[in-house]
Amino acid sequence: MEVMGLPGQEAYEEIEPTGKKNRVTVNIMGEEYIIRSDAETDHIKELAESVDERMKAALAMNPRLSRSQAAILVCLSLADDLKKARRRYEELMRLVEDVR
């Protein structure tokens, strides 16, 4: 899924582009966002729900955080999750190559 051409997405494309751009309205922390993407509508909604949940959890853990501070912490957490998943993927691919 590509959202506004963010860098680093092309190397790990998991969802096949449909060729048509979907416009999906999502709600994160009470604010509506219109997302234009070639990913399936349900996938975009799931992502938005995950971000919303993480934002609410970050603010619940530390109510003094501003929304932008919570967003940065959520971004760092997601980046950490992604880095770990990529590392695990690379380990698994090496194991597959060793078996061949």
User: Domain containing 53: what range?
Assistant: 10-99
Q: Does residue 2 sit within a domain?
A: no
Q: Does residue 78 sit within a domain?
A: yes
Q: Does residue 3 sit within a domain?
A: no
Q: Does residue 5 sit within a domain?
A: no
pLDDT at 3: 54
Q: What angle do CA 81, 56, 48 make, to 5 degrees?
A: 60
Residue 80: exposed, middle, or buried by beta-carbon count in 10 A (0-12, 13-18, 19+)?
exposed
Q: Does residue 26 sit within a domain?
A: yes
Integer-rounded Cα Rg, in Å, for the chain is 16
Q: What angle do CA 29, 38, 12 make, to 5 degrees?
A: 90
pLDDT at 100: 84
pLDDT at 64: 97
pLDDT at 1: 54
Q: What tens digit of pLDDT does each residue of 32-89 get?
A: 999 999 999 999 999 999 999 999 999 999 999 999 999 999 999 999 999 999 999 9
Strands 22-28 and 31-37: antiparallel
Number of domains making up the chain = 1
